[in-house]
Structure 1
C-alpha cells in the first residue's frame, strides 16, 4: 500500500529535470527516443494506492532501470568542450553547479484487453559526474483495474528495441480475501449467519452487517453448482426462515448488495450430520427394467438427490414373510460426490444412474445408504406382487362389511329428513362461517369444467361463504387485468378470512410444470424476469390462474405454504392419464389436496377455518352443521356430474353462461368488486330446496 498523492514519476539519484507526459494513444504518433540511455531492466509491481486509510484503489508501479548509452558517452568525451552539448544545473541539495547531458527520452506504453492503449513519455537528464556504467531508476505509477492483465512496453532506442513485461492485477475477490475490507470500499459485502432454533428445529438466516445506505440485499442459493432463483432479502428484516427442504450439506449462498460487483459466498451446512438427516427425505432410489441386446432384460437404478452423494447402492432379496432383505452378493456399487463422478444436474437436483447385470424378480429390491448416516433407507421393491390368500373367515368378514355399508346407507336415507328438520339453514351457515372463497381454474378442453365451477361456487355461496369466480367477473377482469383482480381478492381474503381454491386438472398440472420449467431455464441462463408476467394474448382465466403461481411460490419460500391456497380435484375429471397418476408438481407441494365429492367434509372444514368455541354444545353443533353441509355439497356435486341436479337454489340461475353474460352488461361502479350477477353481490338466499 502507498499514498495515492505520490508523484506519477519518481527519479533516483543522478537523474534531474524528470517529467512525464501523456501522449496520443497511437504509438506511431509518439516521439521516438533519442538513444541517450539504454533500458537494462523493467520490473512491475501491483499496489494499492490510498488517498486515506479507507479509500484504496488498484495501481501499477513500473520500475525502469537505465544507464547512459555507450555511443552517447563516447561522443561526450570527444566533444566535451562544446557548450551546446551540455547544460549546467544547480543542485538543490548542495547548491553547486552540476554538468548534465542533454535530455533523454523513454517511451512507455500500457495496454489492457477491452481498453485503449496509454502512452507516456519520460524526460530526464543524466549527470556527467556519474559513472558511465552506473544505473538509475525511474518509478512510474499508473492506475489499473481489478483482475486486469496489463502489457507494458518500454522503448529507449529509436531502432525499435524495447522491453516488454506483462502482469495481471488480482481480482476483487482475491484482494478482499486478504482482510482488506476496511481499506477497499468495494470489499463491502453482506455477511450471513445460519443457526437452528433448538425448540422448533427451524433454520434461521441472520444478516450480520446491514447496509447503512439501505441498499437492497440480493441472494441466490446454489446446490453443487446448480443455481436457484435470484431473490431479494425481505426489506427491513434482519433474519429469515429457511424452508427445511432447502437445507442440504451442499447448499451455499451467494450474497451481494444490488448494483455492486463483489459477491460473497458462504456454505453453512458443510459436514453437518443433522443436515444429512434433513436431506434424506429428498433422496430417492428407483429400479426399473430395460431391454438388452440379444433379447432379455436388465435392471437400471436411479438415485435423485439435492446434492451429489457419497453413498452405496445394492440389490437385496426380501424374504417371503416380508421381513429382512438379504444383500445380493457382488451387486454393491459406490457413488462419489465428485463433479466428474457421473452426476447429472436436473430441475430437481442431481441424478445418478447405473445398471445391475441381473433380471427382475418379485422378491428383488434395491437399497441405498448414505455415508455419514447410521440408518439405511427402506428397500424399494418395484416387482413385488400382491398375494392374497383368500379364506373362509376373510370372505365372511367382507360379506358382513358389505351388509353393514348397505345398512348404513339405508339408515342414512331414513334419517336424512329428520336431520334437516333439526338443523336449520342458519345452523349450517353458522357452522361454515362467513369466510371468502376465490375459485380459480385453468382453461381446459373439457366442456363440463365451467359448469362444475359455477355449480361449486353457487353451492358454497348457498352454504354461507362469499365467493369470487373469474367467470362471474369478466367485465372487471377486462378493466383491471388478471393480476390486480387477483390481488384485490387476496386483500379481501386477508380481511375476511378464507382460502384461494385452485382446481387441479390435467391442464393445471401441465401449466404448473411448464411454469416451473421456465423459471429453471431463466435462472440457468442468468435471465431475471418476473415470474408473474403473462401473455397479453391469453384469456383472462389463463392469466388469473397463472398469476397465482407467483403468490404460491412466495408463500412457500417464506415457510407459509398452504396458508392462503389449497387444491381441489373433481373425481369426474381426475388429473390422470391412462390410469397412471402423475407426481404432484413441485410448485403445489405443501398445499392440501381434496377430492370432491368424496372429501367434502375435509374441504369445508379447512374453508371454515379453526374457531374457538366457548362450550362443548357449541362445538357439537358446529361439527354437526359441517357434516350436514358436506353431505349436501357432496350430493349436489354427484348429482351435477351424473346429469341430474339434486341441489337447487331458490332465485339463482343454474346456467354459468347466463351469470357471465349478465355480469358483462352491468358497468363497474365505484366500490363494486364484482358484477351484481355474481354471488358476491346477489341478494342473500334464504331458502335451500332439496330434491
Structure 2
C-alpha cells in the first residue's frame, strides 16, 4: 500500500512538472552553472521536486542573496539569468566523528546538498538541488559558498517579480526583474536582445499634396501595426494607411508602431510634429471649436459657461468680455481664469474643456476671449453666445443684401447695352474655335474607318475641335442620330465633313431621287431612307434642306480617299452638287485651311 502511494505521488509530480514546462514554452527551459568555494568539491546541480523540499543534516543556509542579470555571449543573443549566492555553515558535530574515524584522518569527506528554489506570483515553484562533497580539513571556519547561475529560468520575464528561498519556512527574497524599456535603453545590450528589436516610423510633410507621408523600417519587410494618438497619454486609434491628411495632423500628434509578434512586444513611439509651428497656427485657426452658453445657478445667480474642443490640450488664459464691435471686446474685470492641461478630457478623439464664470451679469451679453501660449500671442475671439452672434450675422446679411440690390440697380440703369451684348454672346454659345464633325457612310470597311480616325486625330493636332461619329456611338444611340447631329451643328463655326465612297454616292443618288418623288407625290413629307438610321443619312436630309434655302456649301464639305470617286463626282449632278470635294492626302493642307476659316453655322436649323 505504501509503495502504491509512493508511485502515485511521484507520477503526479512528474506530470505536474511536465505541464509546467509545456506552459512556459520551450524558451522556458533553463540550463545552470554552479560554482563552489574552497572545501567543497564535485559540485553538481539537478532539478528537484518542489514538494517537501529536502534539508541536509550537514549544512545550514546562513545567508542567501539573489539578483537578475543579462547573460550575453560574444555576438550572441542576451538572455535573462538568475544568480543565487548561498553562504553555508557546515556542521561539525559529535555524531559525525565516528564517520570521520572510519575514513582517512587527513582526507575525511562528507557528501551533502542544498536546495534552492524560485517562483513568480503566476507560476509554480522550480527547485534546484546542488550536491557536493565536503572536505572539512580545507574549510575556513566551517563556512563555504555556492553560486548558482540559472540561464533562461522558466516563467521569468522582463518586469517579473521573483521570490527566491531555500527552505519552505524561510522568508523568501524578493528580486525585481528590470523592465524591457530599461534593458533596451542600454545601447550596449539592446542589439543583442530580440525583444528590443522593433520597427520605426519617420514622417515627411508634403504640403503640396496636403498630407503626411509615413515611411517604415519594418524588421520583416512588412507593414507593421500602427496607431495615432493626440497627446502622449491620449487614446491611440488604429491607423492602416501610409499617409495622414494634413488637416488631421496637430502638434501633439504621436505615432506608435509595433509588430504582431509576442517575441517583440515593444512599441516605437514618436511625436515628430511638436516643433512644426505652422501646425500650431493651423490648430488655432481651423481646428478649434468653441461655444458659449448662458445658464442659471441653483441659487438663481447667473453664470456663463464656455466650452472649447481641440485636438491638443491648450495652456493659457480665458476671460469674459463685453462686445463693442465685431473684433473688439472689453474685458469684464475679476473673472480671468488660467487654462492648464490637467483638467482636459478626451472624447471622440478630441480634447474638451469647460470653463464656468459664476455670478456674471448676462444682460451685458458677455462673450469670451482666450490667449494661448506666451504673453506675446494675440488674443483669440471674441467667442459669443449664439443669439449675439446671430444678431451680428443678420446685420451683416442685411447690409450685404442692400449693397447687392443697389449695385444691381446701378448696373441695370447704366450698363443696359453691355448686358444685352453679353446675353447675345452667351446665346451664341461658348465655343469660339471651329468645330468639325466627320461623318462616314454606313457599312464602310476597316481601312476607311482607320483613315477617318487618323484624319480626326490630325485635325485635333491643328487645334480644331473635332468629333468623329465613330467616337460617339454610345451618345448617338442614347440621343438618336438626328438629335446628335443637330447638337453638333448648333455650335458656332460648325462644319460637317462627309466621307465619300462609291457606296456613299449611290446612297446620295437614291436619297435625291426619293426626295424628288416625295415632293411630286406627297408634298413636303420625306420617304425612306429614314434619317433616323444613322448620322450620315441624317446629314443628307440637312443638305437637301440647305439646297432648298440656297445656302449649300456653308455647313458641309466632302472628302474622299478614293481618286475614282473624284472623277465620278465631277461628272454627276445630284444631291452633292455645289459642295466642294477634296482628295486626301493630296489636299490635306487645303482641307485644314478651309476648316480653319471657321465659317459660322446657322442657328435654329
Pairwise TM-score range, normalised by the shorter structure: 0.5 to 0.7
Which 5+ residue runs of structure 2 have no aligned equivalent? 1-28, 438-459, 467-477, 481-532, 539-605
RMSD: 4.7
Helix, strand or coil: the match of 2:72? strand
Residue correspondences, number: 409
Return the match for 1:376 from 370, 379, 384. 379
Helix, strand or coil: the match of 2:281? helix
Return the match for 1:66 from 78, 88, 95. 88
Identify the residue that residue 109 of structure 2 maps to in structure 1: 100
C-alpha change, 1:393 and 1:131, in structure 2 (3 Å) is: closer
Deviation sequence 1:433-455 (CA, Å, 0-9, x none): xxxxxxxxxxxxxxxxxxxxxxx
Q: Is the 8 A contact 2:38 2:139 kept in 1?
A: no
Helix, strand or coil: the match of 1:378? strand
Identify the residue that residue 151 of structure 1 maps to in structure 2: 163
Identify the residue that residue 77 of structure 2 maps to in structure 1: 55
Structure-1 separation of matches of 2:323 and 2:57: 92
Helix, strand or coil: the match of 1:105? strand
Structure possessing the higher relative contact order (Cα contacts under 8 Å, 6 or more residues apart): 1
Shift of 1:168: 1.9
Deviation sequence 1:272-312 (CA, Å, 0-9, x none): 54442232231233211123224464210112111222121
Identify the residue that residue 75 of structure 1 maps to in structure 2: 95
Correspondence 1:245 to 2:247:
yes
C-alpha change, 1:77 and 1:389, in structure 2 (3 Å) is: closer
TM-score, normalised by the number of residues in structure 1: 0.50
Shift of 1:134: 3.8
Structure-2 separation of matches of 1:392 and 1:285: 27
Q: Is the 8 A contact 1:27 1:119 kept in 2?
A: no
Identify the residue that residue 63 of structure 2 maps to in structure 1: 41
Helix, strand or coil: the match of 1:278? helix
Shift of 1:416: 9.8
Shift of 1:6: 8.5
Identify the residue that residue 636 of structure 1 maps to in structure 2: none
Helix, strand or coil: the match of 1:27? coil
Helix, strand or coil: the match of 1:262? coil
Identify the residue that residue 47 of structure 2 maps to in structure 1: 22
Shift of 1:374: 2.0
Structure-2 separation of matches of 1:346 and 1:131: 71
Identify the residue that residue 310 of structure 2 maps to in structure 1: 305
Return the match for 2:297 from 282, 292, 299. 292
C-alpha change, 1:361 and 1:650, in structure 2 (3 Å) is: farther
Structure-2 separation of matches of 1:221 and 1:363: 41
C-alpha change, 1:351 and 1:254, in structure 2 (3 Å) is: same
Helix, strand or coil: the match of 2:183? helix
Shift of 1:199: 8.3
Structure-1 separation of matches of 2:165 and 2:534: 89
Structure-2 separation of matches of 1:616 and 1:364: 64
Return the match for 1:223 from 227, 230, 238. 230
C-alpha change, 1:200 and 1:412, in structure 2 (3 Å) is: closer
Identify the residue that residue 518 of structure 2 maps to in structure 1: none
Correspondence 1:9 to 2:37:
no
Shift of 1:36: 0.9
C-alpha change, 1:123 and 1:393, in structure 2 (3 Å) is: closer
C-alpha change, 1:170 and 1:315, in structure 2 (3 Å) is: same
Identify the residue that residue 144 of structure 2 maps to in structure 1: 136
Deviation sequence 1:305-326 (CA, Å, 0-9, x none): 112221211112222x545322
Structure-2 separation of matches of 1:246 and 1:394: 36
Helix, strand or coil: the match of 2:138? coil
